[in-house]
C-alpha cells in the first residue's frame, strides 16, 4: 500500500488527485475505504455475543483475515456480510482450541507433543485477550471437563476426551492433526477455511459468487449468481408447493428481496449462532463437487446452485424455511408483510426438523427434472394431458382430469357447493337399496385377481366399508377438485414392466381383499413373481365396469349429511380417495342419485374390494411414489412437513421411471386454504384444495401402512395439519373482519353474507374434524 | 370478497426507500419511526429490510411501505428492484462524517436514474445529537438541498429528534403530488381513489391507491 506518490516514476498518473482508478493513490484511497467499511461492520458484529466477538483480540483476527482476503481478491473486495461468514468459523475454531486447552490442563500427562512450545514461542499480542472470560457460550461444556477427576491411563478417559488427546498428538498416528487444534494457528486456519468457503475450494458453491453482481462466466441465465440462486429457490418452491409459490409471485415478492440475505450470510441472520452452526454443519457436510447429471446433454442449463449437493441443500433449506412459515405467508395480503415475515424468521424454530425437511427436498433439487426451467404449471398442464392419454385404459378414474390446474374458474367452488348440497338432500334416502347384479360379477373378477394376495386387514381398515354415507358435503367438494386435478395415473403405466410394479399391484390386491380375507400369506411370494406378467389384466380390471359404477359410488358418498360428524376416519379415507370424476364436465352425477345402487351391500360384502381396487389404482401409484416406507415422515411431522417430504422421496425413488409425474404431484399436494372457503380463492386460479393432500395422505396411511400405530400417527398428523390450514383460513377471515372476532361472532354478525356464513360453518366443521383426528 | 377484504384501512400506499452510506443510521431511523425503538447495537443491514407504518394526513390514511436498503453501494444487483415503484426517498447522511455527505450527490444521481422525476426526496442529516462531532454544517446542506430541489431535515434517531416529522413530511409531500396530479387530470380529488393506480412514477406498481372498505378484489 504505497502511501508516498514520489516513489512512483509517473507523477502524472500517480498523484493523490488522480482520477485514474489504477493509480496507486486511488488504490490507497479504495483500501482505506475498505478498511473503514470492515471496521464499521465488525463493530456491529454479533452484538448479542459481543463479549466474544467484540473483544479486541477477536476483532483483530477478523479484521486481518478480512482485509487480507479482500486485498488478495481485488475483483471481489469487501462486501457487507462477509464478516458474518468468517465470524462463525473463527468462533468454532476458538471453541475447539479452548476445549483442548481445558482438557490439556486437566490431563497434562497424556499430552506428549510440545509442538507449540518448540516452534512458536514469540508472544503474539493478538492472542492475549482473555478468551475464557468472554465465552459464556462455551462455559457449560468446559465446566464439565473440570469436574472430572484425574485419571491415570489414557484408556480410562472419556472417549470424547481421548479423542481430543489423540487428535492433538503431533507425533502420533494422526501426525499433523496436532497442529489443527493449536491455539497459535487459529488465525491461519480461520483464513484458510474462510478462503475455502469463499472460493468454494474448487467445488461448485463459492460464497464469493453470491457477493458478485455480474454474471458468472458460462452462466446460462445471464443473471448475477445471487439473483440466479434466488430464482432457483422459487423454482424449487414451485415444484414443492406451487400454491405458496403462486401466492408470493402474485404479491410481487421477488425472491432476491429476502434470499439475498439468506444466501449471502448462509442463513446467519435468520438463526441464532448455536442453531446456525448446526445448519452449517449440515451444509458443509454436503458434497460441494459438481454432480454429474445424467440423461441430459444440457445438464448445465438451469440453475447453477442445483449442480452440487451442497447447493441443493442450501436451496432446499431455504425452501424448507419458506414452508415452515407457510401459513403466515399465505395469510399475508401484501408484499411488505410477506417480506417482513420472511426476514424475521421465528426464533423458536426447531432446527432439526427444518434440516430434516431440507434433506428431503434436497433430493428433489438434485433430480434431473428440476433442471428444466420451464415454469411448473406449464409442465403440469402438458404432462397432465399426456398422463390422461396414456392411462385412459387404466381405469375409469383417469378419464377426468382434462381440466388443467390453472383453469378452475372462480365460480367453481360456489357452483360445486350448491350442486352437492342439493344432491345430498336428494339422495339421502336412496342410498341403501340394492346391488346390481353386474356388480357382483365384477366383484368375482376382482376376487380372482386377488387370489394370490396376502390379506392384511388392519383393524382400522376393516371398518372402512361401514359408514361411507356420512360424509360432510365439504369433503365432497374437495374430493371432486382433487380428482379433477389427479394426474397420478401415468405412473402405473410407466412402471408397468418394472419390477417394482409388482409391489404396487400387490398392494392393490392386498387392499382389495380386505372385504374378504380368504387368502393366505404364503401366496404373496407367488404373486410377487407373477405379477409382472399379469400387469395388464390387473390394471385393466377396474376399467371394465361401466362408468356408472363410479358415479354411483360418488353419489352415495355425496349423499352424506354435511353435519354428521360421526367421523370414522376410514370413512373419510374412502371418500377422499374415491375415483376421480371431473366435476366440471360430469357435474350432473349428483342428479343420478335416486338410481344409486345400495351402498351398504357393496360396502359390507366383498363388493368392497371393487371400490377399493378401483381407488387403489389411483391411490397406490401415489402412495408408492411418495415412498410408502416413509412412515416416519408422516408420523413424526406435521402435515406440511410430510407433504414437503413426499415429493422429494418420490424423486429419489423414481426419477428415472416417472420423470413427468413429480411436478404434477407436487402441485397436487400444495394444499391450500380456499377449498373449504370458496370465498377466499377467487384470485388464485391454480389452486389445489387442501384436502387433496390430506385425502391422499389419509389413504396412504390407511392402506399403505401395515401397522395401526403408523396409521394413527398419520391420522394425528393429518388432524394437526388440517388444524394448521384452518388456522390460516381463520386468520384470513379475521383479517377481513378487521379485528380478531371469533368465528362464532362472525357468523352471527348481521353484515355477513350468505356465502360467508357457509364458509364459516364449513370452517367450524373442519375444525371439529381435525380436532377429532388429532386426538385419535 | 367484498367487505371482508379490508384488512388494513388506508387510502394510499406509498413506497419509500431509505438510502445513504453504510452506517449513517438508516435502520435506526426506520425502527424509530415504525417501532419507536433505537438500538446502539444494531447489525449492518444485508440486502433490504422492510417496515410499514400508517399516518393520517388531512382525512386520509397514508400507509408507508419503507424499504431500508443496505448502505454498501455495491449492492447493485438489485438496486433497480429497490427503486422500482418508489415515490419517496429519504437520503440519509451522517452529520459527523463529511464523506457521507459528499456521497449524497452520487446517491441522488442513482436515485434519479432509477426513479420517476416526481419522486419526493428528502435529505436527512442524521446523528444530529452528536453536536461536538459535527462535520457537516446545516448551511452547507441547506444550500445543497436548494440547488437540488430536495427537502432537508436534520434528525437524531437516538434522541428521536425530527424523525417523525421527516417521514411525515415526505409522505405528506407525496400525497400532495398525488392530489395535484389528480387535479390536473381534472377530477375531483375526493373521487379519485377508486381502486385506481396513481402514476407518480411511470410504471408505478407498488404505490397504488386503495379505497378503504369495499374495493373489489
Per residue in A671-707, pLDDT tens? 433 333 333 333 333 333 433 334 344 443 334 444 5
- The pLDDT of residue A662: 37
Q: What is the pLDDT at residue A23?
A: 77
Domain ranges of chain A: 213-292+302-373
Answer yes or no: do B72 and A343 touch at CB < 8 A.
no
Tens of pLDDT, residue by residue over A122-148, are 444 444 444 444 444 444 444 444 444
**pLDDT band per the 50, 70, 90 thresholds, residue A721:** confident
Q: What is the pLDDT of residue B77?
A: 55
Spelled out in words, what is the top-level CATH class assigned to the domain B12-185? alpha beta
Query: What was the pLDDT predicted at A137?
Result: 46
Nearest to A80 among B7, B9, B22 (CB): B22
**A22 or A389, which is more confident?**
A22
| Residue A735: predicted pLDDT | 58
Q: Is the pLDDT of residue A501 over 70?
A: no
Contact residues, chain A, for B1 at CB < 8 Å: 679-680, 682, 736
pLDDT at A346 over 60: yes
DSSP A185-198: GHHHHHHHHHHHHH
Q: Is B72 on the interface with A (CB under 8 A)?
A: yes
Give A149's DSSP letter. Answer: P
Q: What is the pLDDT of residue A754?
A: 58
Which has the higher per-residue pLDDT, A343 or A29?
A343
Collect all residues of chain A within an 8 Å Cβ-Cβ radius of residue B70.
80
pLDDT surpasses 90 at A291: no
Longest Cα–Cα distance in chain A: 108
Phi, psi of A74 (to 5 degrees): -60, -25
Tell which residue, A43, A118, A129, has the closest CA to residue A80: A43
CA distance B11 to chain A (A): 15
Picking from B7, B81, B205, the nearest residue to A736 by CB comes out as B7
* Residue A318: pLDDT over 60: yes
* pLDDT the model gives residue B198: 45
Q: Which three cell numbers stand for residue B72?
A: 454498501
Lowest mean pLDDT among A216-220, A659-663, B76-80: A659-663
Q: What is the ipTM of this complex?
A: 0.83
Residues in B closer than 8 angstroms to A81, CB to CB, are 46
Would the pTM count as exceeding 0.90? no
Specify the residue for cell string 430464482. A231
CB contact under 8 A, A260 and B50: no
Chain B: give the shortest CA distance to residue A765, in Å.
21
CB-based contact A213 B52, cutoff 8 Å: no
The answer to whether the CB of A58 falls within 8 A of the CB of A52 is yes
Helices A225-240 and A376-391 cross at an angle (nearest 10°) of 40
What mean pLDDT do residues A185-195 have? 91
Give first-to-last CA distance, chain B, whole Å: 6
> Which comes out higher in pLDDT, residue A750 or B86?
B86
The string of DSSP letters for A483-541 reads: HHT--THHHHHHTTTSHHHHHHHHHHHHHHGGGS----TTHHHHHHHHTTTTHHHHHHG
Compare all CA atoms of chain A with the CA of B43 and give the residue at the minimum distance. Answer: A44
Distance CA A423, CA A100 (A): 75
Q: A61-70, A391-400, A483-492, A506-515: which has the minimum mean pLDDT? A: A391-400
Tell me the mean pLDDT in the region A576-601. Answer: 41
Mean pLDDT, chain A, integer: 62
Closest chain A residue by Cα to residue B41: A47
> At the fourth CATH level, which superfamily is domain A213-292+302-373?
Ypt/Rab-GAP domain of gyp1p, domain 3 (1.10.472.80)
Q: Got the DSSP string for A438-455?
A: HHHHHHHHHHHHHTTPPP
CA distance A382 to A405: 11
User: For residue A153, what pLDDT is reported?
Assistant: 63
pLDDT at residue A425, rounded to an integer? 55
What pLDDT is recorded for position A166? Answer: 65
What is the predicted pLDDT for the residue at A375? 43
- Chain A's closest residue to B78, CA to CA, is A256
Contact A328, A335 (CB under 8 A): no
Name the more confident of A616 and A322.
Answer: A322
DSSP B63: E
Query: In this complex, do A81 and B46 lie within 8 Å of one another by their Cβ atoms?
Result: yes
Query: Percentage of chain A with pLDDT > 70?
Result: 40
* B77/A227 touch (CB, cutoff 8 Å), yes or no: yes
- Rounded CA separation A303/A306 (Å): 6
Residue A485: closest CA among A650, A625, A646, A689: A689
Nearest to B51 among A37, A340, A753 (CB): A340
* Predicted confidence (pLDDT) per residue in B115-124, tens digit: 888 999 999 9
Residue A255 clears pLDDT 70, i.e. is over it: yes
Distance from the Cα of B109 to chain A's closest Cα (Å) equals 19
In terms of average pLDDT, the best of A142-146, A162-166, A470-474 is A162-166
Report d(CA A571, CA A557) in Å as an integer.
Answer: 9
Sequential DSSP letters for A640-706: HHHHHHHHHHHHHHHTTT-TTHHHHHHHHT---STTT-GGGGTT-TT---HHHHHHHHHHIIIII--
Is the pLDDT at A740 greater than 80? The verdict is no
Cα A128 to the chain's mean position, in Å? Answer: 46
Question: Which cell numbers hold the place of A325?
Answer: 412459515
Cβ A682–B1 below 8 Å, yes or no? yes
Cell numbers found for residue A148: 472430572
According to the model, what pLDDT value does residue A660 have?
38
Contact residues for A61 (Cβ-Cβ < 8 A; gap 6+) = A90, A126, A186, A187, A190
Q: Are strands B48-57 and B151-154 parallel, antiparallel or unpaired?
A: unpaired
First vs last Cα of chain A: how many Å apart? Answer: 72
The pLDDT value given to residue B16? 95
Confidence of residue A622 (pLDDT cuts 50, 70, 90): very low
The predicted structure's pLDDT at residue A322: 95
Whole-number pLDDT of residue A620 = 43
Tell me which chain A residues have a C-beta less than 8 angstroms from the C-beta of B76.
213
Q: Do A47 and B42 touch (CB under 8 A)?
A: yes
Interface contact B44-A227, CB threshold 8 A: no
Percent of chain B past pLDDT 70, that is, above it, reads 78
Instruction: Give the pLDDT band of residue A565 (cuts 50, 70, 90).
Output: very low
pLDDT above 70 for B80: yes
pLDDT of residue B26: 95
Q: Please report the pLDDT score of residue A366 as a whole number.
A: 85
Chain B interface mutation, best of A37, A45, A745, highest count of B Cβ atoms under 10 Å:
A37
User: What's the average model confidence in pLDDT over A301-310?
Assistant: 81
- The confidence band for A105, taking pLDDT boundaries of 50, 70 and 90, is confident
Q: Look at A227 and B46 and tell me if their CB atoms are within 8 Å.
A: no
Contacting residues of A for B45, CB less than 8 Å apart: 80
Residue pLDDT, tens place only, A512-538: 444 444 444 444 434 444 343 443 333
Which positions 188-217 of B are in contact with A (Cβ < 8 Å)?
Answer: 205-206, 217
| DSSP-derived secondary structure for B115-155 | S-TT-EEEEEEE-TT-GGG--S-HHHHHHHHHHHT-EEEE-
Q: Which residues of B touch A330 (CB under 8 A)?
A: none
Rg (C-alpha) for chain B, rounded Å, is: 17
In this structure, the number of other CB atoms found within 10 A of the CB of residue A475 comes to 28
Q: Which of B57-61, B73-77, B143-147 has the lowest mean pLDDT?
A: B73-77
Given a cut of 50, whether residue A769 has pLDDT beyond it is yes
Average pLDDT over residues B56-77: 82
Residue A248's contacts (CB-CB under 8 Å, 6 or more residues apart) are: A234, A237, A255, A329, A338
| More confident site: B33 or B209 | B33
Is B42 in CB contact (< 8 Å) with chain A?
Answer: yes
Q: How confident is the model at residue A276 (pLDDT cuts 50, 70, 90)?
A: very high
Q: With contact defined as beta carbons under 8 Å apart, do A37 and B72 qualify?
A: yes
Residue among B49, B65, B77 minimizing CB distance to A213 = B77
Is it the case that residue A91 has pLDDT exceeding 70? yes
Nearest CB to A44; choose among B7, B13, B44 = B44
- pLDDT, tens digit (0-9, with 9 covering 90-100), for B158-173: 999 999 999 999 999 9
Q: Which residues of A touch B81 (CB under 8 A)?
A: 254, 256-257
Amino acid at each position: 500500500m504505497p502511501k508516498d506518490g514520489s516513489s512512483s516514476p509517473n507523477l502524472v498518473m500517480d498523484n493523490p488527485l488522480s482520477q485514474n482508478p489504477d493509480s496507486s493513490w486511488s488504490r490507497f484511497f479504495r483500501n482505506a475505504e475498505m478498511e473503514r467499511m470492515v471496521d464499521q461492520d465488525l463493530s456491529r458484529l454479533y452484538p448479542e455475543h459481543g463479549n466474544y466477538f467484540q473483544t479486541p483480540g477477536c476483532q483483530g483476527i477478523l479484521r486481518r483475515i478480512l482485509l487480507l482476503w479482500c486485498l488478495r481478491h481485488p475483483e471481489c473486495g469487501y462486501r457487507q456480510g462477509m464478516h458474518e461468514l468468517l465470524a462463525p468459523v473463527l468462533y468454532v475454531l476458538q471453541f475447539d482450541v479452548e476445549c483442548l486447552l481445558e482438557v490439556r490442563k486437566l490431563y497434562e500427562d497424556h499430552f506428549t507433543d510440545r509442538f507449540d512450545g518448540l516452534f512458536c514461542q514469540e508472544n503474539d499480542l493478538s492472542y492475549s485477550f482473555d478468551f475464557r472470560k468472554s465465552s459464556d457460550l462455551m462455559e457449560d461444556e468446559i465446566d464439565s471437563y473440570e469436574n472430572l477427576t484425574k485419571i491415570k491411563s489414557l484408556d480410562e478417559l472419556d472417549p470424547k476426551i481421548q479423542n481430543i488427546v489423540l487428535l492433538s498428538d503431533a507425533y502420533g498416528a494422526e501426525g499433523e492433526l496436532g497442529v489443527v487444534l493449536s491455539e497459535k494457528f487459529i488465525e491461519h486456519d480461520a483464513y484458510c477455511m474462510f478462503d475455502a468457503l469463499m472460493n468454494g475450494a474448487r467445488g461448485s458453491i463459492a460464497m464469493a459468487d453470491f457477493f458478485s453482481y455480474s454474471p458468472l462466466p458460462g452462466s446460462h441465465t445471464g443473471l448475477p449468481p445471487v439473483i440466479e440462486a434466488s430464482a432457483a429457490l422459487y423454482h424449487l418452491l414451485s415444484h414443492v408447493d406451487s400454491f405458496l409459490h403462486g401466492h408470493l409471485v402474485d404479491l410481487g415478492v421477488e425472491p432476491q428481496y429476502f434470499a439475498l440475505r439468506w444466501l449471502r450470510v448462509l442463513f446467519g441472520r435468520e438463526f441464532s449462532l448455536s442453531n446456525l452452526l448446526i445448519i452449517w454443519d449440515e451444509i458443509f457436510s454436503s458434497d460441494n463437487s459438481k454432480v454429474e447429471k445424467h440423461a441430459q446433454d444440457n445438464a448445465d442449463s438451469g440453475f447453477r446452485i442445483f449442480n452440487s449437493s451442497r447447493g441443493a441443500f442450501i436451496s432446499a433449506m431455504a425452501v424448507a424455511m419458506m414452508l415452515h412459515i407457510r401459513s403466515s405467508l399465505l395469510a399475508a395480503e401484501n408484499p411488505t408483510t410477506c417480506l417482513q415475515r420472511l426476514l424475521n424468521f421465528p426464533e423458536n424454530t426447531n432446527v432439526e426438523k427444518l434440516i430434516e425437511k431440507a434433506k428431503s427436498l434436497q433430493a428433489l433439487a438434485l433430480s434431473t427434472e428440476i433442471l428444466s426451467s420451464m415454469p411448473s404449471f406449464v409442465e403440469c398442464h402438458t404432462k397432465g394431458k399426456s398422463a390422461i392419454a396414456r392411462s385412459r385404459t387404466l381405469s375409469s378414474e383417469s378419464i377426468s382430469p382434462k381440466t388443467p390446474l390453472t383453469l378452475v374458474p372462480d365460480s367453481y367452488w360456489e357452483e360445486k357447493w350448491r350442486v352437492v348440497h342439493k344432491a345430498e338432500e336428494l339422495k339421502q334416502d336412496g342410498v341403501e337399496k340394492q346391488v346390481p347384479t353386474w356388480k357382483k360379477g365384477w366383484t368375482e373378477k376382482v376376487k380372482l385377481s386377488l387370489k394370490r394376495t396376502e390379506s392384511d386387514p388392519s383393524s382400522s381398515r376393516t371398518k372402512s366399508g361401514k359408514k361411507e354415507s356420512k360424509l360432510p358435503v365439504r369433503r365432497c367438494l374437495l374430493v371432486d377438485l382433487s380428482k379433477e386435478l389427479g394426474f397420478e395415473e401415468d405412473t402405473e403405466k410407466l412402471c408397468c414392466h418394472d419390477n417394482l410394479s409388482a409391489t404396487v399391484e400387490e398392494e392393490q390386491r392386498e387392499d382389495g381383499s380386505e372385504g374378504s380375507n380368504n387368502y393366505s400369506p404364503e401366496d404373496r411370494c407367488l404373486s410377487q413373481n407373477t405379477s409382472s406378467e399379469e400387469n395388464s389384466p390387473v390394471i385393466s380390471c377396474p376399467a371394465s365396469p361401466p362408468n356408472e359404477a363410479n358415479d354411483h359410488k360418488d353419489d352415495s358418498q355425496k349423499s352424506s349429511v354435511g353435519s354428521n360428524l360421526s367421523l370414522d376416519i376410514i370413512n373419510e379415507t374412502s371418500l377422499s380417495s374415491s375415483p376421480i370424476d371431473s366435476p366440471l364436465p360430469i357435474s350432473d352425477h349428483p342428479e343420478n342419485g335416486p338410481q344409486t345402487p345400495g351402498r351398504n351391500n357393496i360396502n359390507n360384502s366383498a363388493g368392497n374390494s371393487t371400490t377399493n381396487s378401483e381407488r387403489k389404482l389411483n391411490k397406490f401409484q401415489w402412495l408408492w411414489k411418495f415412498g410408502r416406507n416413509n412412515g416416519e415422515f408422516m408420523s413424526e411431522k406435521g402435515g406440511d412437513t410430510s407433504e414437503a417430504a413426499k415429493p422429494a422421496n418420490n424423486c429419489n425413488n423414481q426419477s428415472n421411471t416417472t420423470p413427468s409425474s413429480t411436478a404434477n404431484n407436487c402441485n397436487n399436494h400444495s394444499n391450500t386454504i380456499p377449498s373449504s372457503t370458496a370465498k377466499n380463492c377467487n384470485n388464485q386460479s391454480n389452486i389445489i384444495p387442501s384436502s387433496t393432500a390430506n385425502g391422499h395422505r389419509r389413504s396412504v396411511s390407511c392402506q399403505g401402512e401395515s401397522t395401526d400405530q403408523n396409521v394413527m400417527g398419520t391420522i394425528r398428523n393429518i388432524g394437526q395439519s388440517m388444524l394448521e390450514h384452518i388456522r390460516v383460513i381463520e386468520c384470513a377471515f379475521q383479517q377481513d373482519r378487521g379485528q380478531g372476532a371469533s368465528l362464532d361472532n362472525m357468523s352471527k354478525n348481521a353484515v355477513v353474507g350468505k356465502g360467508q356464513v357457509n364458509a364459516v360453518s364449513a370452517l367450524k366443521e373442519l375444525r371439529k374434524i381435525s380436532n377429532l383426528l388429532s386426538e385419535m | 370478497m367484498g367487505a371482508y377484504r379490508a384488512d388494513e384501512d388506508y387510502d394510499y400506499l406509498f413506497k419509500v426507500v431509505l438510502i445513504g452510506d453504510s452506517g449513517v443510521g438508516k435502520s435506526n431511523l426506520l425502527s424509530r419511526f415504525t417501532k419507536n425503538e433505537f438500538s446502539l447495537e444494531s447489525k449492518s443491514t444485508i440486502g433490504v429490510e422492510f417496515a410499514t407504518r400508517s399516518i393520517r394526513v388531512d382525512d386520509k390514511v397514508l400507509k408507508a411501505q419503507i424499504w431500508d436498503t443496505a448502505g454498501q453501494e455495491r449492492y447493485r444487483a438489485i438496486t433497480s428492484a429497490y427503486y422500482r415503484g418508489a415515490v419517496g426517498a429519504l437520503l440519509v447522511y451522517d452529520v459527523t462524517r463529511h464523506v457521507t455527505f459528499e456521497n449524497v450527490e452520487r446517491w441522488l444521481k442513482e436515485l434519479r436514474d432509477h426513479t420517476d422525476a416526481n419522486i419526493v426526496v428528502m435529505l436527512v442529516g442524521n446523528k444530529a445529537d452528536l453536536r461536538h462531532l459535527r462535520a457537516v454544517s446545516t448551511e452547507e446542506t441547506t444550500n445543497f438541498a436548494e440547488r437540488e430541489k430536495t427537502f432537508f431535515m436534520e434528525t437524531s434517531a437516538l434522541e428521536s429528534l425530527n424523525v417523525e416529522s421527516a417521514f411525515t413530511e415526505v409522505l405528506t409531500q407525496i400525497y400532495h403530488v398525488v392530489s395535484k396530479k389528480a387535479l390536473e387530470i381534472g377530477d375531483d380529488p375526493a373521487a379519485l381513489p377508486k381502486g385506481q393506480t396513481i402514476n407518480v412514477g411511470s410504471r408505478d406498481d407498488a404505490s397504488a391507491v386503495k379505497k378503504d372498505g369495499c374495493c373489489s378484489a
